Amino acid sequence: MARCGYCAAETELYVSQTPICLTCSEQREQTRKPPPRDQQIRTVLVAGLVEASARSSAASQAFNNVMNQLPSGLPRPDGSQQIHNASADLAAARKELMRADNRLNDYLGRGIVPENLTPTG
Q: Of the candidates 117, 112, 110, which has an alpha carbon nearest to the alpha carbon of residue 48?
A: 117
Q: Is 21 in the site for Zn ion (CB under 5 A)?
A: yes
Among 1, 3, 9, 70, indicate the residue that binds Zn ion (CB under 5 A): 9
Stretch that binds Zn ion, among 1-9, 61-69, 85-93, 109-117 (CB under 5 A): 1-9
Compute CA 65 distance to the chain's CA centroid, rounded to the nearest angstrom. Answer: 30
What residues numbered 57-116 form the site for Zn ion, per CB under 5 A?
none
Among 3, 13, 24, 114, indicate the residue that binds Zn ion (CB under 5 A): 24
Task: Compute φ and ψ for 100, nearest 5 degrees.
Answer: -65, -40
Size of the site for Zn ion (CB under 5 A): 6
Beta strands in 13-115 (DSSP E): 14-15, 18-19
What is the radius of gyration, based on Cα positions, of the chain? 27
Which residues of the shown chain bind Zn ion in the complex (CB under 5 A)? 4, 6-7, 9, 21, 24
